[in-house]
Structure 1
Amino acid sequence: MKLTATGLLVFVALVYVLATWAEHAGAGVWTGYVAAAAEAGMVGALADWFAVTALFRHPLGLRIPHTAIIPTKKDQLGVSLGEFVGENFLSGDVVRDRLRAVGIGSRLGAWLAEPDHADRVTAELATALRGALTVLRDSDVQAIVGEAITRRADNAEIAPGLGKMLEKVVADGGHKRVVDLVCARAHDWLVLHSDSVMDAVEGGAPGWTPRFVDKRVGERVYKELLRFVTEMRDMPGHPARGALDRFLADFAADLQSDSDTRDRVERLKSEILGRSEVQDIIASAWSAVRQMIVAAAEDERSELRLRVRASLLSLGRRMATEPDVSSKVDGWVEGAAVYVVTTYRAEITSLITDTVAGWDAEHTTRKIEAHIGRDLQFIRINGTVVGSLAGLLIFTVSRALGA
Structure 2
Amino acid sequence: MTMRRKANGSLILLSLLFVGAAVLLYLYPGNWWLRLLLFTAEAGLVGALADLFAVTVLFRHPLGMRWVPHTAIIPRNRDKLVEGVAAMVEKQLLSKNMLSDKLMNYRLIDAVIEWVDRRNDTHSFAERGWQLLMSWLRGANLEALASKLDVHARSALSGVNISRYAGRGLKWVLANSDFQKWLGHLIDYAAKRASSEETLAAIKAMVAKEKDKFVNEGGSIARWFKQKLLDFAEAADAINLDEAANTLFRDLQSFMKELQNPSHELRVMIETRVLALADNLETSEEIGATIESWKQEMLRELSFQPSIQALLDNVKSVILGGESMKYVVVDDRALNALDVKSWVTGLLAAYWETFKNDTEAKDQLDGYLKQFVRGILEQEHALIGKIARRTLESFTEERLVSFIERKVDTDLQRIRLNGAFIGSLVGALLFLFLYGIYEPLLEVLF
Whether these two folds match at TM > 0.5 is yes
Cα distance in structure 2, aligned partners of 1:280 and 1:314? 36
Higher RCO, 1 vs 2 (CA within 8 Å, ≥6 residues apart): 1
Which digits, 9 at most, give the CA deviation of each residue in 1:284-306, with x for residues without a partner? 33222334555788669611111
* Native 8 Å contact 2:163 2:288 kept in 1: yes
Pick closer, same or farther for the CA change 1:16–1:365 going to 2, 3 Å. Answer: farther
Map of 2:342 onto structure 1: 302
How far has the Cα of 1:192 moved from its partner? 4.0
- 2:211 corresponds in structure 1 to 195
Q: For 1:27, what is the secondary structure of its paired residue?
A: coil
Structure 1 vs Structure 2 CA RMSD = 5.2
Contact kept? 1:105, 1:329, Cα under 8 Å: no
Task: Give 2:19's aligned amino acid.
Answer: L
Structure 2 match to 1:27? 30
Q: 1:289 aligns with which of 315, 324, 332?
A: 315
Contact 1:130 1:297 in 2 (8 A): no
The equivalent of 1:58 in structure 2 is 61
Gaps of at least 5 residues in structure 1 are 170-180, 217-235, 237-248
Match of 1:193, SS state, is: helix
Task: State the Cα deviation string for residues 103-142 of structure 1 (Å, max 9, x = none).
Answer: 8629937985x9x7111211222222222222x24xx331
Judging changes above 3 Å, is the alpha-carbon distance between structure 1 residues 57 and 300 closer, same or farther for their aligned structure 2 residues?
Answer: farther
Q: Deviations over 1:50-92 (max 9, x none)?
A: 1110221122323555432332334443443344344334533
Report how many aligned residue pairs link the two structures. Answer: 345
Q: Does 2:19 match 1:14?
A: yes
Counterpart in the other structure of 1:133: 137
Q: TM-score, with normalisation over the residues of structure 1? A: 0.64
Q: How does 1:241-252 map to 2 (within 5 A)?
A: none
| 1:32-61 deviation per Cα after TM superposition (whole angstroms, max 9, x unaligned) | 322222221122112101111022112232
Partner secondary structure for residue 217 of structure 2: helix
Q: 1:84 is matched with which residue?
A: 88
User: What one-letter code is carried by the residue in structure 1 that aligns with 2:392?
Assistant: V
- The offset of 1:390, in angstroms, is 0.5
In the TM superposition, what are the counterparts of 1:309-348 in structure 2 within 5 Å?
A: 309-316=349-356, 318=357, 327-328=363-364, 331-348=367-384
State the one-letter code of the partner of 2:314.
A
Distance 1:332 1:297, change over 3 A: farther
8 A contact 2:15–2:41 mirrored in 1 = no
Q: Is the 8 A contact 2:86 2:386 kept in 1?
A: yes
Asked if 2 retains the 8 angstrom alpha-carbon contact of 1:15 and 1:38, the reply is no
The equivalent residue for 1:390 is 426
- Which residues of 2 match residues 222-233 of structure 1 at below 5 A? none
When residues 370 and 389 of structure 1 are mapped into structure 2, their CA distance, relative to the original with a 3 A threshold, is same
- Change in Cα spacing, 1:165 to 1:193, as seen in structure 2 (3 Å) is farther
Shift of 1:6: 4.1
Contact residue 149 and residue 305 of structure 2 kept, 8 A = no
Contact 1:254 1:262 in 2 (8 A): no
Contact 1:129 1:297 in 2 (8 A): no
Q: Cα distance, 1:359 vs. partner?
A: 0.8
**Unaligned 5+ runs, structure 2:** 171-189, 191-198, 230-265, 267-280, 323-335, 441-446
SS in 2 for 1:348: helix
Match for residue 105 of structure 1 among 106, 110, 133: 110
Spell out, residue by residue over 1:312-338, the C-alpha distance to the aligned partner (whole angstroms, 9 max, x if none). Answer: 22333x16xx5x566556545544544
1:346, distance to aligned residue in structure 2 (A): 1.9
C-alpha change, 1:15 and 1:337, in structure 2 (3 Å) is: farther
Matches within 5 A, 1:153-164: 153=154
Match of 2:102 among 95, 103, 125: 95
CA distance in 2, matches of 1:111, 1:159: 39
Give the aligned residue type for 2:309.
A
Structure 1 distance, partners of 2:389, 2:10, is 34
Q: TM-score normalised to the size of structure 2?
A: 0.59
Identity of aligned residues (%): 22
- Is 1:36 the equivalent of 2:39? yes
Q: Residue 8 of structure 1: SS of its match in structure 2? A: helix
